[in-house]
Structure 1
Amino acid sequence: METARTELKDQLATELLEATGSLAPVAPLRDRLEGMDLADAYYVQTVQLDHHLASGRVLAGRKVGLTSLAMQQQLGVDSPDFGFFFEDMVHGDGADIPASAFISPKVEPEFGFVLKSRLQGPGVTLEQAAAAIGAVYPAIEIIDSRVADWDIRLVDTVADNASCGAIAVGSTALDVDPSALLDVSCSLVIDGETLGTGTGADVMDNPVAPLAWLANVLGEQGVALEAGQLILPGSFTKAEPVTAGSTATADFGALGALTINFI
């Protein structure tokens, strides 16, 4: 029975891998694996990670999602999740990004933490996590769902690499100390219209908390966050859709901004 269940999880991972290339979404996973739980979902995610690494893609970092009340309410969940991204998924400030590379993209404004030292749990504290941050950059995550019509619950998005599509990160670090992020404000501006604003405190009450949480969760699996990796701790606002012709900005006011264009 367990063998059949593992085979089905492997099949779901294969479907998601194929959907990433074909942009043809799949049916909700929760409806096809009876009693699907988070352990099942992360198994499906890890199969995909291992496949990509075996093919030669280079891990650039990790993202934590569902860390703000706005995003939890948008998806109807009460806990964060995490996923991964590769170097070929990272774009720079001013990038022109084909909207056709995604199924149904949305954008989220975030901090981007570049680690200066290795961080491995369990037992990582907020102070240790903050001390591991070498620089803080403006960032935007482009989320996308390989599950049809964004019809997802927590297990669906976790299995689907936490709905990660791509990452954009600024070229200039924000002039802010990692210990002073709670009061930093960021707005999501699309086509010149401000659609949402939040502060660091909206990201799990402290944007360093998702970093510590991630280090501890991965640490239980024997996985460390490495120096040089980029970690996105979660969105300031709810996600907003974009299409070809859209321009999206993560506006940190006097601290700086990051803008990307969808073509």
Structure 2
Amino acid sequence: MSKKSVAAPASVSLPCGGRTMLGAGKFHSLVRALTGAMIHITIGTRPSWGFPVVIRRFCVEDKTTAGPSDVASPTIGDQMSPTAGKTILEKFADELLESTRTLVPVPPLRERFDGMELQDAYDIQNTQLQHHLSQGRALAGRKVGLTSPAMQQQLGVDSPDFGFFFADMVHTDNARIPATGFIAPKVEPEFGFVLKESLTGPKVSLERARAAIGAVYPAIEIIDSRIADWDIRLLDTVADNASCGAIAVGSTPLDVNPEDLIDVACSLLIDGQLRESGTGADVMGDPVAPLAWLANTLGEQGVALEAGQLILPGSFTKALPVLAGESATADFGSLGSLTIHFT
């Protein structure tokens, strides 16, 4: 995600105070709405997540009148929390943090912020990450989502997304996991890569990413949505930490060379019954490709994947819902398997 700059138009100094954050789409809409008006703008840069256009709360000078009018912005007011003076992105982050705590879902974000952009969604996610880190939680790794054609078609996208998970979200083989700890959990069978070397993008090649894999484990991601009724599109799931709920990883690595992951088959079983199956080729054509993509995407933000971290590159299959009393298995045939139980 490269940083961008926006050229400011000729402007006049205005006496209004206050600030708010507008994405690029909102900025252009605002400029179009203010034909004939002059505003003073300042362009700023987010240090780690792209750019905002920072606009001082403005007055509109109507050329047909003698002085500033009391015309209000059609968009700026909607972007501020009425109670805490927070931007709508910060407000959404607070909502999702509260939903994570209470397990009470929230309405879709995309329907409450006209003009919301992908960068906005990642800003919301990053605000939550920084909050958790400030509370002392230990980052265990990262996940890549939307890497299979089935999941991309479901959300109408053609690229992956990513999220994070902490050490207290990681379970092991035969774990008994309370279903009441989630809102509406689903399971996905995946590889789990433990890195033996750090990866710092950009320009991490497929070969470099493959060489950084120290071990390949069977894994299951438990996805969950803080968005009500799983009514999500790309912006919602990205803001909601790529719908990450928890991770399960086997205790024994799979006996497989990272060079051969494309041909590895995996089946998803619920209560011992085969429900879905796929191969490594279903994960972006090569399960290592999401790892390289993640390293390069984070690298553009100055963030590295560290040695020892666990990386989940995406699901072999579509996600399936699970209920209390059911078990889920990621079966890699003769290579091994992983089973977890929902209580």
TM-score calculated relative to the size of structure 2: 0.76
| Ranges of 4+ aligned residues in structure 1 off by more than 3 Å | 3-6
**Structure 1: gaps of 5 or more residues:** none
The number of residue pairs the alignment matches comes to 263
Cα distance per residue 1:69-126 (max 9 Å; x no partner): 1111232322100000000000000000000000000000000000000001000000
The answer to whether residue 120 in structure 2 is matched with residue 40 in structure 1 is yes
Cα distance per residue 1:165-186 (max 9 Å; x no partner): 0000000000001111000000
TM-score calculated relative to the size of structure 1: 0.98
1:60 alignment counterpart? 140
The answer to whether residue 208 in structure 2 is matched with residue 128 in structure 1 is yes
Question: Per chain length, whose mean CA-contact separation is higher, i.e. which structure has more relative contact order (CA < 8 Å, sep 6+)?
Answer: 1
Q: Single out whichever of 69-78 and 39-48 deviates more from structure 2.
A: 69-78
Cα distance per residue 1:37-60 (max 9 Å; x no partner): 110000000000000000000000
1:224 alignment counterpart? 304
SS of equivalent to 1:181? helix
Cα distance per residue 1:214-248 (max 9 Å; x no partner): 00000000000000000000000000000100100
1:233 alignment counterpart? 313
Distance 1:97 1:258 in 2: 14
2:40 alignment counterpart? none
The answer to whether residue 87 in structure 2 is matched with residue 7 in structure 1 is yes
Distance 1:200 1:88 in 2: 28
Distance 1:219 1:35 in 2: 27
SS of equivalent to 1:36? coil
1:91 alignment counterpart? 171
Contact 1:106 1:144 in 2 (8 A): yes
The answer to whether residue 265 in structure 2 is matched with residue 185 in structure 1 is yes
CA-based RMSD: 0.9
The answer to whether residue 302 in structure 2 is matched with residue 213 in structure 1 is no
Contact 1:211 1:231 in 2 (8 A): yes
The answer to whether residue 112 in structure 2 is matched with residue 23 in structure 1 is no
What is the one-letter code of the residue matched to 2:263? D
Distance 1:32 1:149 in 2: 16
Distance 1:187 1:76 in 2: 25
**Structure 2: gaps of 5 or more residues:** 1-19, 22-53, 55-75, 80-85
